[in-house]
Structure 1
């Protein structure tokens, strides 16, 4: 496998991971999404190639493709409440983060 993409300063592509692992781009996607019928050896080869190349899924690109950002917006009427004058808001935000964390 070649790690030339790390040195060039650009992100490696899913195509480069597929080529390095000797599989299709669909197989790379399946390995990262735990879908499809990949053997454990193939899945491991793909994950090892991705690790060596420094590849990780591109969250903004996935959000565009799937029309889902996996983000949550919290709208507060008075920003000063969040900045410390009312402890209720910091507890609320901390609780929301705790529930949503993976």
Structure 2
């Protein structure tokens, strides 16, 4: 069963997932702390480049299947126009109410 983005427990994570699913690049970057970082499958990536390629240019979308750790850990079916759909894990670090780091990879 999918958890709607507006029902996710943590407000910062909720804002980020809502921005991803709405293809709202401005809201996405507004949900991030200054200097935010990320990794994909254990390798640090350039956040802006990765997000453009994996989310915005390819219409990325998260169907959240479960959450844990107070909403900071998600399992989601993630799809985009490049990779189609895959089961992914997302872990978020929050600073001052914004996402300062996220780590994603295949679950």
TM-score, normalised relative to structure 2: 0.21
Higher helix share: 1
Higher strand share: 2
State the structure with more CA Rg: 1
TM-score, normalised relative to structure 1: 0.22
